[in-house]
């Protein structure tokens, strides 16, 4: 055998370099050369780990997206164990995804840039679709729980409500990012809270 390296760690290193570039200079500014420089490695090594630029970008996207997914899930879990009202749990977790301050604006820029490419790139679209499916499932589960404890109208269609809520979230993400003057942080927060208030219309009757 010979020299060994941590494949996954290297790929992650490149993915994060891509992310930084997208966040600071925009998607179009991402070149293989710049990415290599940002990651502190050579162009050749990037090629060693990714067969093509497209693969590199796709990996960067899925990496970023999975991290975000995990964070939101963890957020929700933590709030859940603290025994909060489901509506409040979701509001907290989803608010994290809106560009309400500089940090989250950066994250949104990356997310939105890749989302924009999903329109023309089937592989990105598929990855995005998978991730959205996870989020919808999470929301549907939360709504189902809400029914059980009385927060949600028991006749509501969980899947439909979840799909619409995710649409609101993504629409707000875009509007708040591209129109910060019109869609201020408060307006965005209010819009999201308003959507949740329309789904979670009842009082929780559980006691602990």
In terms of CB distance, is 33 or 197 closer to DNA? 33
Question: Which does residue 206 touch among a copy of itself, DNA, none (CB within 5 to 8 A, set by kind)?
Answer: none
* Helix 158-178 vs helix 102-118: crossing angle, to nearest 10: 110
In terms of CB distance, is 42 or 178 closer to DNA? 42
In terms of CB distance, is 47 or 131 closer to DNA? 47
Question: Which does residue 62 touch among a copy of itself, DNA, none (CB within 5 to 8 A, set by kind)?
Answer: none
Dump the DSSP string for 21-86. HHHHH-GGG--HHHHHHHHTS-HHHHHHH-SSHHHHHHHHHHHHHHHHHHHHHHHHHHHHHTT--H
Select the residue interacting with DNA from 16, 20, 27, 32 (CB under 7 A). 32
What is the nearest approach in angstroms of a copy of itself to the Cβ of residue 68?
Answer: 17
Neighbours of 4 (CB within 10 A): 6
Measure Cα distances from 116 to 9, 67, 74, 111, 172 in Å: 27, 19, 27, 9, 15
Select the residue interacting with DNA from 24, 26, 33, 157 (CB under 7 A). 33
Residues that bind a copy of itself (CB under 8 A): 26-28, 109, 112-113, 115-120, 125, 128-129, 132-133, 136, 160-161, 163-164, 166-172, 174-175, 177-179, 181-183, 187, 190-191, 194-195, 198
The answer to whether 135 and 161 are in contact (CB under 8 A) is no
3-state SS, 164-204, equals HHHHHHHHHHHHHHHCCCCCCHHHHHHHHHHHHHHHCCCCC
Question: Which does residue 11 touch among DNA, a copy of itself, none (CB within 5 to 8 A, set by kind)?
Answer: none
| Interacting residues with DNA between 38 and 57 (CB under 7 A) | 41-45, 47-48, 52-54
* Helix 102-118 vs helix 7-25: crossing angle, to nearest 10: 100
In terms of CB distance, is 44 or 154 closer to DNA? 44
Q: Which residues make up the interface to DNA (CB under 7 A)? A: 1-5, 7, 10, 30-34, 41-45, 47-48, 52-54
């Amino acid at each position: 055998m010979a020299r060994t390296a941590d494949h996954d760690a290297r790929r992650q290193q490149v993915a994060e370099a891509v992310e930084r570039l997208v966040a600071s200079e925009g998607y179009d500014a991402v070149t293989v050369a710049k990415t290599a420089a940002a990651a502190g490695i050579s162009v050749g090594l990037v090629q060693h780990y990714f067969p093509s630029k497209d693969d590199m970008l796709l990996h960067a996207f899925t990496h970023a997206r999975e991290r975000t997914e995990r964070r939101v899930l963890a957020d929700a879990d933590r709030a859940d164990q603290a025994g909060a009202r489901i509506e409040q749990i979701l509001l907290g977790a989803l608010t994290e995804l809106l560009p309400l301050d500089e940090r989250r604006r950066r994250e949104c820029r990356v997310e939105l840039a890749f989302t924009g490419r999903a329109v023309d790139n089937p592989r990105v679209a598929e990855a995005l679709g998978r991730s959205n499916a996870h989020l919808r499932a999470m929301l549907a589960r939360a709504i189902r729980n809400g029914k059980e404890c009385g927060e949600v109208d028991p006749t509501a269609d969980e899947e439909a409500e979840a799909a619409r809520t995710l649409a609101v979230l993504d629409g707000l993400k875009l509007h708040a990012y591209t129109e910060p003057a019109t869609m201020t942080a408060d307006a965005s927060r209010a819009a999201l809270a308003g959507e949740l208030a329309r789904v979670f219309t009842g009082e929780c009757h559980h006691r602990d």
